[in-house]
Amino acid sequence: VQEPAVSAVWFLCVGGAVQNSMDLQRVLFAFGRRGALRWDLRKCYKISRRPLGAGGCGEVFLGQSRIKGVQGALPAEAGEDTTQELDVLTVKQTAVKLLKKNPARADEAAVKSEIDFLAQSRGHPNITALFGVFCFWGDSDSSDNSDDSDPRVPECPDLSTSQLRWGIVMELCPCGDLHDFLISNGSVSEAACLEI
């Protein structure tokens, strides 16, 4: 089965002169929240070496924002209620899901579905916020590790040994997810479910 061709692609290329512009960062993160693909994961986040957890599609790591000194909220679209939306540029810690190197077709479909769902449910108070989808060249043998960032996300990869990798940056839920809550607390009353 062959996947359908993409009907349209937008490519945004910005020179180094405005690389540190907070307005540009806001625009890039606004696109990212809607599922647009970015290539600057290492410039935006420092990723821990130890995973917070693992799942069928990859591992989740703690991400520390590298973007400093930003205040305020993302600009809202006309008629859009963003009262529940987090300001991506002021969030200091995130969850970074690094996907497996060679995902199976079923895994790819699940990841695409997850990204689509998170992008569409943006701003919902009880659904983890999507901050961005990133693509990068990486391998587990990278020696580029000038700080304590995860070496799986090299800044200057050797393309002869590297593979294309994917990362999803989301809101960090330090107390776990609904599954963890139910395991710890047991069943939830109908009234509590209605609040969720």
Q: Is residue 10 part of a domain?
A: no
For residue 47, is pLDDT > 90?
yes
What tokens does 64 get?
């520390």
pLDDT of residue 98: 93
E-state strands within 40-175: 45-54, 58-65, 93-99, 130-138, 163-171
Kindly give the residue spans of alpha helices, DSSP state H, lying in the chain: 22-33, 41-44, 105-120, 178-185, 190-195
* Averaged pLDDT, 9-37: 73
Q: Is residue 102 part of a domain?
A: yes
What tokens does 101 get?
């190197």
pLDDT greater at residue 147 or residue 104: 104
Cβ-proximal residues to 45 (8 Å cutoff; 6+ apart), any chain: 63, 64, 65, 66, 94, 96, 169
For residue 61, is pLDDT > 70?
yes
pLDDT of residue 153: 59
pLDDT greater at residue 78 or residue 90: 90
| Structure-token match 């989301």, residue found | 170
**In CATH, what number is assigned to the domain containing residue 174?**
3.30.200.20
Most confident of 76-80, 85-89, 129-133, 175-179: 129-133
pLDDT greater at residue 163 or residue 69: 163
For residue 81, is pLDDT > 60?
no
Q: For the whole model, what pTM was predicted?
A: 0.69
For residue 77, is pLDDT > 90?
no
CA atoms of 135 and 141, how far apart (whole Å): 18
Q: What's the structural domain count of the chain?
A: 1
113-149 tens-digit pLDDT: 888 998 898 888 888 889 999 988 775 433 333 455 5
* Averaged pLDDT, 49-76: 76
Q: Is residue 61 part of a domain?
A: yes
* Averaged pLDDT, 18-35: 75
The count of other CB atoms within 10 Å of the CB of residue 41 is: 23
pLDDT of residue 76: 45
For residue 48, is pLDDT > 90?
yes
Q: Is residue 157 part of a domain?
A: yes
Supply the mean pLDDT for the chain. 74
For residue 134, what are the CA distances in angstroms to 51, 114, 143, 174, 177?
A: 18, 14, 21, 22, 23
Q: Is residue 26 part of a domain?
A: yes
Q: Is residue 13 part of a domain?
A: no
For residue 188, is pLDDT > 90?
no
Q: Is residue 2 part of a domain?
A: no
Range of the domain at 89: 19-195
Q: Is residue 1 part of a domain?
A: no
